Amino acid sequence: MGGGRRSKQSVRRVVLALLLALGWPAALRAELINHELKFSAYTQTPGQTKEPMSVPGRTVVSLNGIPITDEQMDARELSIGAVSERPTPLIWVPMHQNDRFLRQRDNLLQLRFIPTDGQRPYTAWLSWHGVSDREQETREVGEDGSLRVIQTNIVGLEEEQRPRTGELLVERRFDAPWVSPQPWQNQPPIQQLSAADEQTLRSLVQERRHLFQTDLDAAYKAIPTDAGVDVAALRQNRCLEMVQAGARLGDTDGRQVRLRTTGGPVVVAEGSSGELFPRSFPATFGEQLSFEQVMCLSAALAGALPKWMLFVKTPDGGWRTIH
């Protein structure tokens, strides 16, 4: 019996050696299920113990030419981790939340930060990493020689802190093997728009505005189901009704609508002033709203009157909205 056990152990050692040499079978390897981007821009006076302050400015993030984040940030206090020395991320973009814009291979991520004061020095902190579907063990050796074992599903962590002045542009190419490609991604890239295309797309933008002003039931139905908004909850809580009661829309004739191609099958409609549907509210609007109502209002705005609209060609040559 002892010889049998030794024989089995020898076989296991041989199999393990082969696995290490040839690579683990796909079923045993951890699979990539996400990438994450984190970003902060901040200043800190040397020698002071005060927490750093974020730098006012605009941050725009796009995937394959498609905008996914456009944030105007004001100055606010950040915290720095006592152990990691990492600042609070002002921008945090999990790629899996934007699966419908991703390809399995060769995606392009772009982050652009435009500080309000282009002459003011600041520190740019960037973090990029993958996320696997199972935890892996990593080992870190401290300055005192101690060994620290960490279980994490973060892979390929890359961080950078560098002094900057003026505009910052970051580009990164990556694969997203976890996504299921959208049918429209197989369509050829749109190089330019005809006059008829532009007229149709501008009409679709104005149709969205008209629905919000005249037919809220249709406006609810027009919100894309994959846009990350719970349309049923918005309807139940009458969120669009709340917005309609207070919002005043600008650019009523659509003259500020700008159409642009992305290098792929998607066309973006955006406002030249930063908002596709500029709106304002009376100074006293919202004073009596609860936190839940404010969140409801914000979600309704994001769904019905987004910062931009995205369009792709239909098989019959027409256009349809995907966001």
With beta carbons less than 8 A apart as the criterion, state whether 244 and 279 touch: no
Q: Is the pLDDT of residue 88 over 60?
A: yes
Q: What distance in Å separates the CA atoms of residue 39 and residue 91, rounded to the nearest whole number?
A: 5
Q: What distance in Å separates the CA atoms of residue 209 and residue 267, rounded to the nearest whole number?
A: 19
Give me the pLDDT at residue 253, please.
77
Q: What one-letter code names the amino acid at 53?
A: M
pLDDT digits (tens, 9 = 90+) for 245-280: 888 888 877 788 999 999 999 999 999 877 899 888
Q: Identify the residue with better confidence: 154 or 53.
A: 53
With beta carbons less than 8 A apart as the criterion, state whether 211 and 222 touch: yes
pLDDT digits (tens, 9 = 90+) for 95-137: 998 998 999 999 999 999 999 999 999 999 999 998 887 776 6
Which range is least confidently modeled, 53-67, 155-169, 281-295?
281-295
With 0.85 as the threshold, say if the pTM is over it. Answer: no
Q: What distance in Å separates the CA atoms of residue 220 and residue 205, rounded to the nearest whole number?
A: 15
Dihedral over Cα of 301, 167, 81, 133: its sign = positive
Q: Is the pLDDT of residue 53 over 80?
A: yes
SS3 for 56? coil
Cβ burial, residue 95 (10 Å; 0-12/13-18/19+): buried
With beta carbons less than 8 A apart as the criterion, state whether 111 and 60 touch: yes
Provide the β-strand partners of residue 141: 147
Q: What distance in Å separates the CA atoms of residue 17 and residue 230, rounded to the nearest whole number?
A: 51
The H helix count followed by the E strand count for the chain is 6, 15
